[in-house]
Homo-oligomer: A and B are copies of this chain.
Amino acid sequence: MEGQLQTRNVPNLTEIELAAIESGNNLADGHARYELTASQQKIINQLGEMYALAAEASPALLDQKAQSAFLTAVGQHSAMAGAEVLSCYSSSVAMEITARSLYTSGVRRVALIHPTFDNIPDILRGAGMDLTPMSEDSVMAGSGRLPAGAEVLFITTPNNPTGQVLLPEALTHWARECASKDAVLVLDSSFRGFDERAQYDHYAILVQEGCRYIIMEDTGKLWPTLDLKIGFLAFPRDERLPLHRIYTDILLGVSPLLMLLVQRFAEDAQDGGFSELHRFIRSNRALLRKRLSGIPATSFPDADSRISVERLALPAGFTGSDMRHALCERGVHVLPCRQFYWAEPEAGERYIRLALSRPPEMIRTAAAAICACIERG
Contact A253 B226 (CB under 8 A): no
Q: A55-B226, A90-B251, A104-B126 are in contact. List 10 more A-B contacts (CB 8 A).
A: A8-B242, A29-B252, A47-B48, A47-B51, A51-B226, A100-B126, A103-B126, A119-B248, A123-B250, A226-B257
- Docked complex Cα distance between A89 and B119 (Å): 17
Interface residues of A in 1-42 (CB under 8 A from B): 8, 12, 14-15, 17-18, 21-22, 29, 31
Q: Which chain B residue has the least Cβ–Cβ distance from A45?
A: B48
Interface CB pairs A-B, < 8 A, 24: A12-B245, A12-B249, A14-B249, A14-B251, A15-B244, A18-B248, A18-B253, A21-B60, A21-B252, A51-B226, A55-B226, A89-B89, A89-B90, A89-B93, A90-B250, A92-B249, A92-B250, A92-B251, A93-B250, A100-B126, A227-B253, A227-B254, A228-B255, A228-B258
Contact A58 B228 (CB under 8 A): no
Contacts of A254 in B (CB 8 A): 227
Interface residues of A in 281-315 (CB under 8 A from B): none
Distance (Å) between the CB of A257 and the closest chain B CB?
Answer: 5
- Docked complex Cα distance between A92 and B242 (Å): 18
Q: A169 in the interface, Cβ–Cβ < 8 Å?
A: no
Which residues of chain A have a CB within 8 Å of any CB of chain B?
Answer: 8, 12, 14-15, 17-18, 21-22, 29, 31, 44-48, 51, 54-55, 58-60, 89-90, 92-93, 96, 100, 103-104, 119, 122-123, 126-128, 225-229, 242, 244-246, 248-258
Contacts of A255 in B (CB 8 A): 225-229
Contact of A253 among B8, B21, B225, B257 (CB under 8 A): B21
Q: Which chain B residue has the least Cβ–Cβ distance from A35?
A: B55
Which DSSP category, helix, strand, loop or mixed, fits chain A's interface? helix
Contacts of A22 in B (CB 8 A): 58-60
- Docked complex Cα distance between A22 and B257 (Å): 16
Q: Which of A227, A244, A255 has the most CB of B within 10 A?
A: A227
Contact B48 A250 (CB under 8 A): no
- Docked complex Cα distance between A136 and B334 (Å): 50
Contact of A249 among B47, B122, B128, B252 (CB under 8 A): B122
- Docked complex Cα distance between A255 and B248 (Å): 22
Distance (Å) between the CB of A33 and the closest chain B CB?
Answer: 9
Q: Which of A46, A47, A127 has the most CB of B within 10 A?
A: A47
* Given A93-B93, A245-B12, residue A252 in contact with residue B17 (CB < 8 A): yes
